[in-house]
Chain A
């Protein structure tokens, strides 16, 4: 008893640090770059996330086959998905569904298919896979997510995936040693700027063992970003400058190409 009490306290402290009680593993992760600067000619790139599973003496010795799921979620925004239908012989937007505060970028990586990592129930609860991630919608007066095969939801996920903004890769996480892992986070040219949250979940035998968070930031720098910010914040000044620029260009042309 005397020996156990301090151990229990230490265990609690450790559990508090790892934010998941009663488990002894700890995840130590880092992304290769916490601040990604995107220049105008950026055509896509990749971040690397690596980390290790720290075991201590409370870890059941026979536990070894770990599974890892990494979820990267970009800045959130409201989006509308519209569906075209044929009316009066032409195709027009008729029905629409609003997605509330959904991530602009969403990537899910794991070391093997989600079906093999956990049961469908756990997959749903832990939001493993694009089909299980919560995408809040405004459905009439209600706010809810819908079944994965809902036409608007699947169209939304498909369109985002076509731009490389939503992705799912069940072989992207590689274990270099039984406890050391890495994964690449591809960032396409159109990545939205803002803060990206990375959530790393460790599973063993179909159950969540522990999880941890990390984050990185994407900032656009350079003249283009300055233009975009000005356009949004100082519309009048921006309009005046653009109009003036147009007049100057026209005037220059009339001088350069003056025939008489």
Chain B
């Protein structure tokens, strides 16, 4: 069944988009991530303009992270204070991100920047995850215990001022690194159309030393608010959010996520990280190949206005 997307301005097959949403939802449910880093590229690959893809996926991630956040809230796996401090940075970062997005679009280099940031971010993060997963797996096979957090080890981060006690996470930490992490995630989320969960979770675990019990739930709250904010800003400044596209993605995504979550519980943690790393790496390489090989058409046309309403 063909459906016309009002903002993307192309007809698409509803079932294809629904299936894409479900597939990404499955993966996101399995790994406990938003899945934006897969959804945005998939949409670009089926022919939706990168700018529209980025803006629409923001609302799709808002939906999936909201349903996730609700269930984590019920299990008391969210640290409200930590989420609030992260959000301070996240909101500023998102606003900066949308502003950068608008600026790059006017230069005609937005598509390039989206592709480049995907290559850099995904290959780096994917490579690290893959390596870390591999090492954890080898260690587990060697029979040694896997220690993610060494008790008593304090990095320079713990020497920073403005310390705050985050009760539910049981950590005592300066607000500065927390705000910075929020800012970075908000910024890349708005520019790249990703929730940033797959970067945020490792950052919170390794840098902020947030215990695993509250890390995913809290990161979902940040994702939720930054993505709602990004949706609003993209809608107001660039008019690029395709609500019809977003709705189909949401329906597919939230459904797929439920089955993904069940599948994810059957796989061991380090295997999961290894798989996720491979997946992230693969998407990054796909973008890199796109940039390096000679494009099929060197020319492209874009309407720049002057069209009657």
On A, residues with C-beta under 8 Å from B are 40-43, 75-86, 89-93, 96, 98, 100-101, 104, 152, 155-156, 158-160, 189-190, 192, 194-195, 224-225, 227-229, 231-232, 235-236, 238-243, 245-247, 249-254, 257-258, 260
Contacts and interface: CB of A to CB of B under 8 A. Distances in A.
Q: Which of B1, B4, B231 has the most A CB atoms < 10 Å from its CB?
A: B4
Which 7 A-B pairs give the minimum distances between C-beta atoms? A239-B235, A250-B66, A253-B254, A155-B299, A250-B67, A228-B6, A40-B4
Nearest to B110: A93
A251 B246 contact: no
A90 B113 CA distance: 12
A192 B246 contact: no
Nearest to A154: B299
A247 B62 contact: yes
A195 B111 CA distance: 32
Interface string B285-309: 0000001111101111111111111
Given A93-B109, A249-B251, A251-B66, A81 B301 contact: yes
B70 A254 contact: yes
B6 A227 contact: yes
Contacts of B239: 231-232, 235, 238
B234 A40 contact: no
Interface of B: 1-7, 9-11, 59-60, 62-71, 74, 108-109, 111-112, 116, 227-228, 231-237, 239, 241, 243-244, 246-247, 250-251, 254-255, 257-258, 291-295, 297-309
Given A235-B237, A249-B250, 17 more contacts: A40-B4, A40-B11, A41-B11, A76-B307, A79-B302, A192-B307, A194-B307, A195-B308, A227-B243, A236-B232, A238-B239, A243-B228, A246-B62, A246-B63, A247-B228, A249-B247, A250-B68
Given A239-B232, A242-B243, A224 B66 contact: no
Contacts of A252: 67, 254
Nearest to A152: B299
A121 to B, nearest CB: 30
A249 B64 CA distance: 8
A254 B250 CA distance: 13
Contacts of B246: 242, 245-246
A83 B66 CA distance: 42
B301 A239 contact: no
Contact of A83 (B231, B292, B299): B299
A190 B9 CA distance: 8
29 contacts: A40-B11, A78-B306, A82-B300, A82-B301, A86-B294, A89-B292, A90-B112, A91-B293, A93-B300, A100-B306, A104-B303, A159-B301, A224-B5, A227-B243, A231-B243, A236-B236, A238-B239, A239-B241, A242-B241, A243-B62, A243-B228, A245-B243, A246-B59, A246-B227, A247-B66, A249-B247, A250-B68, A252-B254, A253-B254
B235 A235 contact: yes
Nearest to B65: A250
A78 B235 contact: no
B117 to A, nearest CB: 13
A127 to B, nearest CB: 21
A87 to B, nearest CB: 10
B103 to A, nearest CB: 15
B307 A75 contact: yes
A152 B300 CA distance: 10
